[in-house]
Amino acid sequence: MEITIGNIIVYSAIFVTLYIITLWLFLFWENKNNIHKTKLKKNYPSVGIIVPCFNEEKTIAKTIKSLINLDYPKDKLKIVIVDDGSTDNTYQEAKKLLKYKQIKLFHKKNGGKWTALNYGLTKTNTEFIGCLDADSFVASDALKIIMSYFTNKKIMAVTPALKIYQPKNIIQRVQKIEYILSIIQRKTLSWLNSLTVTPGPFSIYRKEVFEKIGLFVSGHNAEDNEMAFRLQSKNYRIDNASNACVYTMAPASLRVLQKQRERWYQGFVKNSWDYRYIFFNKKYKDLGLFILPIILLALLTFILMMFYILFIFGEAMIKRFVTWQAIDFNFNQLTFDLDWFFINTSPITFIGFFLLIFTITIFLFGKQISTTNNNKIKNIKKYKIIFKDIKDFIFYIFLYGPLFFIWWLGTIRTLIFKKKVNWQYEKKFSKN
């Protein structure tokens, strides 16, 4: 086989992909009896949930009611709403919820989500602190499940299983599949103590964490990513509760989704640079020696692979166009007869088919491990949901790769030209 740049890129991408798949398979086989914890049944510690909000008048009531409906002792649960200078009726809507004794409501000048979280921390004195974005809703058993992980004194933070709330259009359905696949990814990384994000929707911390390592910081508009890096830098353990379900609103348009992902990825790149001493450092074990390097390698090979595909496609189209010009082509000459003799049977084709089957399996397993008795579907609806999943998965297969590439191109652009992307931009574009 001739060695070319294209072959190097293709087989590098195959190697990285197979490496990650092999890692997942071994980890799940090794931990197959340790996926879920038993729900906490006694000795409930006090928990304070901070809800930072900015212009969330449409969802704040539903978010808070999902917390009120948690299956957790009412005298052990405190809810602190921090209105971060909203310009709509968020504060007025939140005031209507003060009839519940667990709730405290505060208003402050707009300063960003991280300042709202820190303000809320000064208003709580519970043993554990959680946060919940004001556009997210928790399953009633989520807190009991998460708190069961803290029976291990070494665990300082626990993250939930994130799912998309009522996806409606194609863009949201693609995100639905992505989030379910991420459930498996985060569970796998938790076994390696290599989680690099404690998501805003319902991550729970020991209160002592903030006394030891400090409060939230901006983290380049990705405070949840920065906090996870900071915990990892101190060798504190972060775990994941894959059946503690939290449902979050997803961007419904490509424009808003692009802004969201540029903020996420820009924050990840900059936080990775801030904590670059973790990389290739044996002090941080799997995270430093394997996970972070393989993430960067996977991103690099993916981007190069997409550029290579675009180059090959463009070159083929130019050759085809020249040929059509030479033979005076017209569209009436087009035929679409399928001849199985010309099906590509190269190893890459079979590997691609294998990856498709593996991805479907991971998706189904992600749905399984994130389902509890509280969110199981009745048998009558199962077939309808399976049919929807098949359609959503088809959208995901064809759209996610190109979208992921575009998100990273946008991120690279913002990094090169030093453009800032923040929550206010996302809110602005979501209303337009």
When comparing pLDDT for 77 and 376, which is higher?
A: 77
Pairing, β 237-248 against β 136-138: antiparallel
Residue 6 lies in a domain: no
pLDDT of residue 383: 54
Q: Residue 428 pLDDT more than 60?
A: no
Structural domain span for residue 154 = 47-252
Residue 246 lies in a domain: yes
Distance of CA 283 to the CA centre of its chain: 27
Residue 311 lies in a domain: no
pLDDT of residue 322: 80
Average pLDDT over residues 220-247: 96
Average pLDDT over residues 308-326: 82
Residue 228 lies in a domain: yes
| Residue recorded with tokens 């991971």 | 362
| Residue recorded with tokens 């959208």 | 395
Residue 95 lies in a domain: yes
What is the pLDDT confidence band of residue 379, given thresholds at 50, 70 and 90? very low
29-84 pLDDT, tens digit per residue, is 888 888 888 777 788 999 999 999 999 999 999 999 999 999 999 999 999 999 99
What is the pLDDT confidence band of residue 317, given thresholds at 50, 70 and 90? confident
What is the pLDDT confidence band of residue 13, given thresholds at 50, 70 and 90? confident
| pTM for this predicted structure | 0.90
281-299 pLDDT, tens digit per residue, is 999 999 999 999 999 999 9
Could you tell me what percent of the chain has a pLDDT over 90?
66
When comparing pLDDT for 387 and 366, which is higher?
A: 366
Q: Residue 375 pLDDT more than 70?
A: no
Largest CA distance in the chain: 82
Q: Are 280 and 293 in contact (CB under 8 A)?
A: yes
Q: In a 10 Å sphere around its CB, with 0-12 CB exposed, 13-18 middle and 19+ buried, how is residue 378 labelled?
A: exposed
Residue 222 lies in a domain: yes
Q: Across all residues in the chain, what is the average pLDDT? A: 88
Q: Residue 351 pLDDT more than 70?
A: yes
Q: Residue 380 pLDDT more than 50?
A: no
What is the pLDDT confidence band of residue 343, given thresholds at 50, 70 and 90? low
When comparing pLDDT for 352 and 100, which is higher?
A: 100
Please tell me whether residue 79 adopts helix, strand or coil conformation: strand
Residue 399 lies in a domain: no
- Window from 91-105, 166-180, 197-211, 331-345 with minimum mean pLDDT: 331-345
Element (H, E) at 237: strand 237-248
Average pLDDT over residues 181-203: 95
Q: Residue 24 pLDDT more than 60?
A: yes
pLDDT of residue 319: 82
Q: Residue 359 pLDDT more than 90?
A: no
As for how many domains the chain has, the answer is 1
What is the pLDDT confidence band of residue 328, given thresholds at 50, 70 and 90? low
Side-chain-side CA neighbours of residue 49 (13 Å): 30
- Window from 5-19, 62-76, 142-156 with minimum mean pLDDT: 5-19
Q: Residue 143 pLDDT more than 80?
A: yes
Identify the CATH number of the domain in which residue 213 sits. Answer: 3.90.550.10
Residue 140 lies in a domain: yes
Q: Residue 356 pLDDT more than 70?
A: yes
Q: Give CA–CA dist 196/199, Å, rounded.
A: 10
- Window from 18-22, 133-137, 325-329 with minimum mean pLDDT: 325-329
Q: Are 150 and 47 in contact (CB under 8 A)?
A: no
Q: Residue 156 pLDDT more than 60?
A: yes
